[in-house]
Structure 1
Amino acid sequence: MDEITFHTLLHRPGTLVDVGAHDGLITIPLARLPDSRVLAFEPLPPAFARLRSALRAAFGEVPAHVQCHAAALGDHAGEVTLAMPVLDGIAQEQWASTAKDYAAHLSPRVTVERFTVPLLRLDDLAIADLTAMKIDAEGAEYEILRGARDTLLRCRPVLTLEVEERHREGSTWAVPAFLDALGYEVLFELRGEWFPVAALDRATMQRASPDPSVFEASDPYVFVFYALPREDAPGLLARLRGAA
């Protein structure tokens, strides 16, 4: 199941947050859900410009119910360095990260472009009706969730998260553990079946090179995780299974 299908099936009216919106692949479908307000966060300047252009192309203008923030999220407010590897002169935007600097991978083929970007804490926005959240932040997931702790406890949104050991070793342990402490069930889907994160075999399902010049990954490669409030998890999971 892809993230758009997940959020569509479990949609409730309210505020939806897209962290790492890039050029709007998920922002636009979220904005089309009924009675939605979307907050999209994208710190990489060229991607942020394309995000706004994509919204104008999809809706004629950036719609009033979508707010675009040229900022990263974390566990405090201020500024942070966003590092983007450049491979053979081509920007690898999908690897841009506030959690790593790629210094270990510098080579004649790999250089790094750095940006100083605003850093916000989700809790500081005092959102009262958060119903869903998508996080794709190349290793910064833990800090983002720490900065959203009070909002998660108050609003109980559903979440999708891309979490990869290649971006941050130990993250597939730390992120689910943090969510578990907040009363969330963390799951993954594989070949139409749903599994608890405890069933993740990292040696065979999370093996990938951290070097942006090396394209290799295990098969299967499980990196999208789904978090459901524990009090609602049985009913929500039944809905997801019923749609398979």
Structure 2
Amino acid sequence: MEEIAFHRRLHRPGTILDIGAHDGLLTLPLSELPGSRVLAFEPLPSAFARLTAACAGRSNIELRLEALGERPGEAMLSLPVLDGVAQEQWASISKDYRGFSSVTVRQHAVPVVSLDSLALSDLVAVKLDAEGAEEAILRGGAGTLRRCRPILSVEVEERHAPGSTRAVPALLEGLGYAGFFVLDRLRPVAEFDATSMQRASPDPAVFGAEGPYVFTFFFLPTESQDTMLARLAGG
């Protein structure tokens, strides 16, 4: 199941967060869901420029040249460069890449806001892809998650944040969420094994992964999971 299919099947009108929007690959289809308002966060200036062009004329999309984090402030966004080519998909506020001799690093100071500081009252869905900063972002939104009970799709990778495939589901479990992933079928997150399902190098110069590589996880409020799982199964 792709992320957009997850969000389409469980959609209800309200605000959707696209955290790590990049070029708008999911921002645009999310904005087409009935009654949706999309807040898209992208802190990398080059990607934000393309996102702005892609979303021109969409009145229900608000673009934010900011990162999300545990608390408001400022952070350094590190962008690895390989053979003169910026690896934008690896840009991160959670690591600096200085341990890899194969890359050079460009850094940008970026403003950071917390999810809770947005004071949202109608948040219905979150798409989160932040290259290792996912746990911090969710901690900064704990109050909003408890209040609004959105569904979440979260990309979590050990190569960006070791231990994160355990830490992120544990954090969300504490907030009343049940986690799932897809490997042949929808499976509970307790069946995930990073040693066999996430074999990949943390080095930007080694992009590929081995075997089945699972990195997108889906989270449902436990009080609604039976109904939502039935909707997902029904297609």
> TM-score by structure 1 length?
0.95
Name the counterpart of 2:79: 84
What SS does the aligned partner of 1:86 have? strand
Q: Distance in 1 between matches of 2:182 and 2:226?
A: 15
Deviation at 1:119, TM superposition (A): 0.2
Name which of 125, 132, 135 aligns with 1:139: 132
Deviation at 1:43, TM superposition (A): 0.2
Name the counterpart of 1:204: 196
| Alignment check: 8 A CA contact 1:13 1:34 kept | yes
Aligned AA for 1:91?
A
Name the counterpart of 2:214: 222
Aligned AA for 1:213?
A
| Alignment check: 8 A CA contact 1:188 1:222 kept | yes
Q: Distance in 2 between matches of 1:126 and 1:151?
A: 7
The root-mean-square deviation of aligned C-alpha atoms, in Å, is 0.8
What SS does the aligned partner of 2:80 have? strand
Deviation at 1:2, TM superposition (A): 0.7
Q: What are the within-5 Å matches in structure 2 for residues 17-166 of structure 1? A: 17-56=17-56, 61=57, 63-107=58-102, 110-166=103-159
What SS does the aligned partner of 2:81 have? strand
| Alignment check: 8 A CA contact 1:41 1:68 kept | yes
What SS does the aligned partner of 1:232 have? helix
Deviation at 1:219, TM superposition (A): 1.4
| Alignment check: 8 A CA contact 1:106 1:112 kept | no
Q: Distance in 1 between matches of 2:28 and 2:77?
A: 24
What SS does the aligned partner of 2:218 have? strand
1:166-225 deviations in Å (ceiling 9; x for gaps): 00000001000000000000100112x111111011111011100001133121000000
Q: Distance in 2 between matches of 1:33 and 1:68?
A: 17
1:69-122 deviations in Å (ceiling 9; x for gaps): 000000111110000100111110000000000011133xx1111100010011
What SS does the aligned partner of 1:213 have? coil
> TM-score by structure 2 length?
0.98
Q: Distance in 1 between matches of 2:211 and 2:165?
A: 17
Aligned AA for 1:210?
P
Gaps of 5+ in 2: none
Q: Distance in 1 between matches of 2:111 and 2:130?
A: 15
Gaps of 5+ in 1: none
Name the counterpart of 1:175: 168
Q: Distance in 1 between matches of 2:207 and 2:93?
A: 21
- Aligned residue pair count: 235
